[in-house]
């Protein structure tokens, strides 16, 4: 019996159509737009000015607090301007525009593919290298990694869990990374184990990626303290709290953090970025992005420079099909549709999904029939029908007491609702406002 | 038979009197003193319970007035100056006199000037739409047109105009309670000073983008060209974030800025129509300028 989490969960069609396309390095674009907010926390502060010449990997924006992250130039060239640019939130925010000229890199970056096994850094050195390289959680939450590796006083981690679940339908970026950069991922995991002082690491992979499980298990024989755990396929297993429960049977308490129960979770994408940052001095300037969709000519996995426009990626994958209804930044469950192709890839972009018009329309909203399907599938044990009604009426006090802040916004409730109610939209609206109220109390 | 009736009357009357005494004693024992002025103040208030004063209802506002023994920071926008003077008399302090205000929508992005760039199929409320993205037009600052403001208005002073897709303020009904100001996620309503005959001049735009970008998304957008700012004789216009703003407290309604605006973002309402400039006279002025 394969392991999985206990409460709720759904089984959306997997549609992993790009699972067989190898990672292709995308050519460097002519212009890049690097937003200053690509992570959770305070925006980075730009340290370049218009007209400055920058090299690939050079620091261009500095983190402005503990929960913030450095941003490096993904290309070499000239800073065109620092101006507002549309990002995937649908709003404009400050960004650095760079025109590409030449291909000069910062000197100490190791650009070879050679695997470096030997770990010659201390715990502190690893953490500071992660912070310098501006690594954030690449699973999508974009939480700065150096904050996670710096454990709060008195807390100890028992488990390091590596998230290779990729439960989101369509997306295959992590899958391909595990297939192609297997040994690097294990070295990255060892680095994290040293930084966190843990003796045991478990890599969780869903059973639909049997080739990745096989390859990872083979390599894991060389590493005594790292094991690979196949998991039953169920959405949202890639959620931090769900994955911890599936693997360790420990539950993160409401309002608590994984470290409260001795677990730290990193996405495989972040682990690879950490390997590159520590062993090869390479900051986070590119990432793997899945560009997919049933109508797309060639669904692919690209290694893309941060700041590349979504439109260029779609062109590389065969161009935008005529009957496109929605372009989704991310996967179909948690992703967000965007209103323009002129949106840059950021650290948290895991995929671009093209949905044809007939699939992308919302269902007609009908009244709630109290079937409680949403309650049954909620992986956090909440009552989505109630939370959404409270959100609709802006009853924020009750939303807070009904634990709206525990919602992980996985969208399972909206997915199963037979009345097509936009449950998550209302819940997210309530959550944003309750979050504001909680912050204002501090 | 008679005896039974007599007994019943005596017993019930006795019970009634005993209960009355108990109730009286309890009421006397647990009596809460309440300032009689609170009731008087509440009577004067408009009883709209709109929350425009910042309190949950008129009663809470009355309690606050009496408790404070003064009217500093307290003002009922619905009742206005007259109401506040009466309250001041009751509680024996001086009244604060404020200019009457009216809600104004600072967006003129009607369908023709602000073309749609995407199709929004989500929940039809402004708050949810704004939480998802900047809106279905190129302007992320403009009206979303789902009418959250209309829903919150207690005075039927707002309705959606189907032709323009924008809400319209009925100046006669508007009490400047400010409900629409808080409801609008784009912060498009402003409570501006009411002038004679409800005349007003204002910049109907909140687009902070640079001129070219703003104009591309909406041809009636303020492009921050500074022309109105330069021409204003009363320093009522300030420029911030590529956007002009006319202070209604300083504006003397001279209308000099209106023809200066290249995008017609400055709107004048309630004025008699200006004399149409003939082509000839226009040519004359050009010659004079040269």
Are B227 and B156 contained in the same domain?
yes
Residue B274 maps to a domain: no
Residue B78 maps to a domain: yes
The C-alpha atoms of residue A399 and residue A397 are separated, in whole angstroms, by 5
pLDDT in tens, B266-281: 999 888 876 655 455 4
- Pick out chain A residues at pLDDT < 50: none
Q: Which residue of chain B has the CA closest to A423?
A: B123
Are B180 and B138 contained in the same domain?
yes
Contact A426 B118 (CB under 8 A): no
Task: Write the residue in A336, A339, A428 that is nearest to B117 by C-beta.
Answer: A339
Q: Which residues of B touch A428 (CB under 8 A)?
A: 131
For residue B67, count CB atoms less than 10 angstroms from its CB and return exposed for 0-12, middle for 13-18, buried for 19 or more. Answer: exposed
Give me the CATH number covering residue B227: 3.30.70.20
Q: Which residues lie across from A314 on neighbouring strands? A: none
Give me the CATH number covering residue B73: 1.10.15
Contact A91 B133 (CB under 8 A): yes
Residues 6 or more apart in contact with residue A412 via CB below 8 angstroms: A8, A9, A10, A235, A236, A333, A374, A377, A378, A379
Are B112 and B231 contained in the same domain?
yes
List B residues 112-131 in contact with A (Cβ-Cβ < 8 A). Answer: 117-118, 121-123, 127-128, 131
- Name the minimum distance, in Å, from the CA of B127 to any CA of chain A: 8
Let me know: does B96 contact B195? Beta carbons within 8 Å.
Answer: no
- Pick out chain B residues at pLDDT < 70: 274-290
Q: Which residue of chain B has the CA closest to A421?
A: B123
Are B83 and B117 contained in the same domain?
no
Q: Give residue B97's pLDDT.
A: 85
3-state secondary structure B40-93: HHHHHCCCCCCCCCCCCCHHHHHHHHHHHCCCCCCCCCCCHHHHHHHHHHHHCC
Q: Which residue of chain A has the CA closest to B138?
A: A339
Contact B128 A339 (CB under 8 A): no
The reply to whether A339 touches chain B by the CB within 8 Å rule is: yes
Residue B13 maps to a domain: no
The reply to whether A336 touches chain B by the CB within 8 Å rule is: yes
The reply to whether A91 touches chain B by the CB within 8 Å rule is: yes
The total domain count for chain B is 2
Contact B134 A90 (CB under 8 A): yes
Q: Which residue of chain A has the CA closest to B129?
A: A425
The reply to whether B148 touches chain A by the CB within 8 Å rule is: no
Q: Give residue B275's pLDDT.
A: 61
Are B58 and B132 contained in the same domain?
no
Contact B140 A92 (CB under 8 A): yes
Contact B123 A432 (CB under 8 A): no
ipTM for this prediction: 0.86
The residue written with tokens 């994290």 in the block is: A192
Are B120 and B262 contained in the same domain?
yes
Question: Which domains, and CATH codes, for chain A?
Answer: 1-26+107-361 (3.40.50.11540), 373-441 (no CATH)
- Name the minimum distance, in Å, from the CA of B34 to any CA of chain A: 30
DSSP structure class, residue A379? T
Task: Write the residue in B131, B135, B140 that is nearest to A429 by C-beta.
Answer: B131
Are B63 and B152 contained in the same domain?
no
Contact B132 A340 (CB under 8 A): no
Contact B122 A432 (CB under 8 A): no
Task: Write the residue in A89, A91, A361 that is nearest to B121 by C-beta.
Answer: A361
Contact B123 A425 (CB under 8 A): yes
Let me know: does A430 contact A390? Beta carbons within 8 Å.
Answer: yes
The reply to whether B140 touches chain A by the CB within 8 Å rule is: yes
CA distances for A372 relative to A242, A377, A386, angstroms:
21, 9, 10
Are B137 and B43 contained in the same domain?
no
pLDDT in tens, A228-252: 999 999 999 999 999 999 999 999 9
Q: Which residues of B touch A422 (CB under 8 A)?
A: 122-123, 128
3-state secondary structure chain B: CHHHHHHHHHHHHHHHHHHHHHHHHHHHHCCCCCCHHHHHHHHHCCCCCCCCCCCCCHHHHHHHHHHHCCCCCCCCCCCHHHHHHHHHHHHCCCCCCCCCEEEEECCCCCCCCCCECCCCCCCCCHHHHHHHCCCCECCCCCCCCCCHHHHHCCCCCEEEECCCCEEEECCCCCCCCCHHHHHCCCCCEEEEECCHHHCEEEECCCCCCCHHHHHHHCCCCCCCCCHHHHHCCCCCEEEECCEEEECCCCCCCCCCHHHHCCCCCEEEECCCCCCCCCHHHHHHHHHHHC
Dihedral over alpha carbons A305, A306, A307, A308 (to 10 degrees): 40
Residue B276 maps to a domain: no
Are B108 and B85 contained in the same domain?
no
Q: Which residue of chain B has the CA closest to A94?
A: B209
The reply to whether A361 touches chain B by the CB within 8 Å rule is: yes
Q: Give residue A385's pLDDT.
A: 96
Residue B290 maps to a domain: no
Task: Write the residue in B121, B127, B136 that is nearest to A362 by C-beta.
Answer: B121
pLDDT in tens, B193-211: 988 888 999 999 999 999 8
Residue B182 maps to a domain: yes
> What global pTM score does this model have?
0.86
Q: Give residue A434's pLDDT.
A: 95
Let me know: does B135 contact B118? Beta carbons within 8 Å.
Answer: no
Q: Give residue A283's pLDDT.
A: 95
Are B87 and B143 contained in the same domain?
no
The reply to whether B26 touches chain A by the CB within 8 Å rule is: no
Q: Give residue B276's pLDDT.
A: 55
Mutation site, B117, B120, B124, B132, interface A, largest A CB count within 10 A: B132
Residue B262 maps to a domain: yes
How big is the A-B interface in CB pairs under 8 Å?
44
Count of helices and strands (H, E) across chain A: 14, 17
CA dihedral sign, ordered A408, A411, A416, A418: positive
Task: Write the residue in A338, A365, A432 that is nearest to B131 by C-beta.
Answer: A432
Task: Write the residue in B121, B128, B133 that is nearest to A90 by C-beta.
Answer: B133
Q: Which helix (H) or strand (E) holds A376?
A: helix A373-377
Contact B134 A340 (CB under 8 A): no
Are B82 and B117 contained in the same domain?
no
Range of the domain at B242: 101-269
The reply to whether A84 touches chain B by the CB within 8 Å rule is: yes
Are B76 and B127 contained in the same domain?
no
Residue B2 maps to a domain: no
Let me know: does A233 contact A14? Beta carbons within 8 Å.
Answer: yes
The token duo for B198 is 């409800």
| CA B169 to the chain's CA centroid | 9
Contact B209 A92 (CB under 8 A): yes
Q: What DSSP string runs through A37-103?
A: --SSSSPPEE---TT-EE-BT-EEEE--SSS---EE-SS-EEEEEEEEEE-TTSSEEEEEEEEE-S-
């Amino acid at each position: 019996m394969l392991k999985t989490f206990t409460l709720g969960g759904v089984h959306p069609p997997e549609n992993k159509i790009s699972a067989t396309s190898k990672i292709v390095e995308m050519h460097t674009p002519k212009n890049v737009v690097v937003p200053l907010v690509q992570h959770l926390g305070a925006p980075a502060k730009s340290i370049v000015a218009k007209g400055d010449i920058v090299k690939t990997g050079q620091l261009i924006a500095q983190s402005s607090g503990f929960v913030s992250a450095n941003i490096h130039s993904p290309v070499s060239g000239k800073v065109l301007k620092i101006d507002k640019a549309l990002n995937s939130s649908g709003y404009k925010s400050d960004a650095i525009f760079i025109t590409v000229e030449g291909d000069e890199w910062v000197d100490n970056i190791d650009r070879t593919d050679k695997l470096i096994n030997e770990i010659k850094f201390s715990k502190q050195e690893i953490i500071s290298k992660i912070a310098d390289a501006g690594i954030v959680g690449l699973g999508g939450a974009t939480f700065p990694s150096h904050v996670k590796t710096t454990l709060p006083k008195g807390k100890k981690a028992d488990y390091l869990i590596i998230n290779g679940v990729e439960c989101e339908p369509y997306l295959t970026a992590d899958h391909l990374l595990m297939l192609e950069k297997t040994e690097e991922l294990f070295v990255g995991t060892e680095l994290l184990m040293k930084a966190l002082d843990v003796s045991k690491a478990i890599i969780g992979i869903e059973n639909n990626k049997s080739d990745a499980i096989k390859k990872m298990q083979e390599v894991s024989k060389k590493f005594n303290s790292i094991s690979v755990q196949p998991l039953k396929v169920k959405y949202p297993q890639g959620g931090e709290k769900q994955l911890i429960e599936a693997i360790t049977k420990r539950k993160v308490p409401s309002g608590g953090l994984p470290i409260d129960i001795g677990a730290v979770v990193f996405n495989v994408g972040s682990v690879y970025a950490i390997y590159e940052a520590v062993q090869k001095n390479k900051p986070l300037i590119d990432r793997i992005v899945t560009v997919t969709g049933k109508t797309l000519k060639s669904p692919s996995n690209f290694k893309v420079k941060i700041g590349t426009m979504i439109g260029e990626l779609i062109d590389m994958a065969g161009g935008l099909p005529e009957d496109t209804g929605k372009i989704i930044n991310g996967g179909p469950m948690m992703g967000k549709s965007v209103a323009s192709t002129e949106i840059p890839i950021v650290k948290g972009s895991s995929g671009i999904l093209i949905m044809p018009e007939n699939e992308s329309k919302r269902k007609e909203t009908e009244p709630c029939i109290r079937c409680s399907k949403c309650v049954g599938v909620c992986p956090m044990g909440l009552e989505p029908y109630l939370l959404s009604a409270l959100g609709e009426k802006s009853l924020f006090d009750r939303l807070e007491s009904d634990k709206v802040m525990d919602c992980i916004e996985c969208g399972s409730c909206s997915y199963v609702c037979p009345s097509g109610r936009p449950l998550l939209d209302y819940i997210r609206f309530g959550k944003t406002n309750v979050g504001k109220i909680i912050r204002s109390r501090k | 038979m008679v005896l039974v009736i007599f007994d019943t009357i005596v017993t019930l009357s006795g019970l009634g009197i005993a209960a009355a005494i108990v109730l009286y004693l309890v009421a006397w024992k647990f009596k809460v003193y309440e300032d009689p002025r609170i009731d008087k103040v509440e009577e004067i208030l408009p009883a709209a319970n709109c929350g425009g004063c910042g309190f949950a209802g008129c009663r809470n506002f009355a309690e606050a007035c009496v408790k404070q023994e003064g009217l500093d920071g307290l003002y009922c926008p619905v009742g206005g100056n007259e109401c506040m003077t009466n309250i001041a008399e009751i509680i024996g302090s001086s009244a604060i006199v404020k200019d009457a205000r009216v809600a104004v929508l600072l967006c003129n992005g009607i369908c023709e000037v602000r073309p749609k760039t995407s199709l929004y199929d989500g929940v039809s409320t402004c708050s949810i739409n704004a939480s998802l993205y900047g809106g279905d037009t190129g302007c992320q600052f403009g009206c979303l047109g789902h009418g959250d403001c209309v829903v919150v208005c207690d005075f039927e002073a707002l309705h959606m105009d189907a032709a323009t897709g924008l809400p319209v303020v009925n100046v006669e009904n508007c009490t400047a309670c400010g409900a629409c100001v808080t409801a609008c996620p784009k912060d498009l309503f402003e409570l501006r000073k009411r002038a004679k005959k409800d005349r007003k001049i204002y910049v109907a735009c909140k687009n902070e983008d640079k001129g070219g970008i703003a104009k591309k998304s909406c041809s009636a957008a303020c492009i921050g060209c500074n022309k109105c700012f330069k021409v204003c004789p009363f320093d009522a216009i300030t420029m911030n974030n590529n956007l002009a703003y006319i202070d209604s407290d300083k504006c003397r309604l001279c209308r000099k800025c209106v023809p200066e605006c290249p995008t017609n973002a400055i709107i004048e309402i309630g004025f008699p129509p200006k004399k149409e400039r003939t082509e000839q006279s226009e040519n004359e002025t050009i010659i004079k300028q040269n």
